[in-house]
Amino acid sequence: MPRTRRSSAPAHPTDLASHLRRETAAAHSSLEESLSLLSQPLDRQRFVRVLERFHGFHAVWECAIRQRSKFAAFHAPRARLPHLRRDLAALGRTTAEIRALPLCAEAERLAGDEAAALGSLYVMEGSTLGGKLIARALADAGWAPAGGITYFDPYGRRTGEMWRGFQGFLAAQDPDRDRAAAGARETFALLEEWLAA
């Protein structure tokens, strides 16, 4: 579903969150379209495959954010690798199979400089917003394991609070905006390529 950007135009059009939103609109639409996760019927095998690919991305990206950026402490409670491991196990993958999944080595470069890492964090935190729609559709699909698939909606009822928390964090940063936007677009582009491979 395309994001209705004009209807939710910000009061301060130059804040960093709005800048990133505007600068990634096309990249978001492109990824959303290529993933087409909401096309019916929602296929179990396809979702397992998508979760496996997200696992390969998060395993590298979260490690890089932890080790190479100064945002490790902020990001720690937002890590989604545990959700992916849990979901894949609940969908029948063994620990050995999960450990053997391919890794997206290129995700490391997204944490390479501070501004780019911020853009990348924006993309992954923002994905919890659209993720709610996906989680709802999955719940209706009938084959999700007990407890649901948690990756797409990791915060549940706290989604709004977590998003506001992220926006507050973003507002306290002062990165090169173009680098941050480029980092966000690179994140979308790499995900699109990696998830489709």
Among 1, 96, 100, 105, indicate the residue that binds ligand HEM (CB under 6 A).
1
Please give the residues from 12 up to 31 whose contact with ligand HEM meets the rule CB under 6 A: 17, 21, 28, 31
Measure Cα distances from 52 to 59, 90, 183 in Å: 10, 13, 23
2-10: which pairs have CB atoms within 8 A and are 24 or more residues apart? 2/29, 2/32, 3/28, 3/29
From the list 76-84, 105-113, 129-137, 170-178, the region that binds ligand HEM by CB under 6 A is 129-137
Amino acid at 179: R
141-148: which pairs have CB atoms within 8 A and are 24 or more residues apart? 141/41, 141/42, 141/44, 143/44, 145/87, 145/90, 145/91, 146/90, 147/90
32 contributes a contact to ligand HEM by CB under 6 A:
yes
Among 48, 91, 98, 129, indicate the residue that binds ligand HEM (CB under 6 A).
129
Among 15, 30, 38, 169, indicate the residue that binds ligand HEM (CB under 6 A).
38
Q: By CB under 6 A, how many residues form the interface with ligand HEM?
A: 22
With respect to ligand HEM, which residue has the nearer C-beta, 94 or 196?
196
CA distance 93 to 97: 6
107 contributes a contact to ligand HEM by CB under 6 A:
no
With respect to ligand HEM, which residue has the nearer C-beta, 71 or 122?
122
What DSSP element (H or E) covers 38? none
CA distance 108 to 88: 23
80 contributes a contact to ligand HEM by CB under 6 A:
no
Amino acid at 138: L
CA distance 74 to 63: 14
- In the complex, the smallest distance separating the C-beta of residue 135 from ligand HEM, rounded to whole angstroms, is 11
- In the complex, the smallest distance separating the C-beta of residue 33 from ligand HEM, rounded to whole angstroms, is 9
Among 133, 141, 162, 182, indicate the residue that binds ligand HEM (CB under 6 A).
133
Interface residues with ligand HEM (CB under 6 A) are 1, 3-4, 8, 17, 21, 28, 31-32, 35, 37-38, 122-124, 126-127, 129-130, 133-134, 191
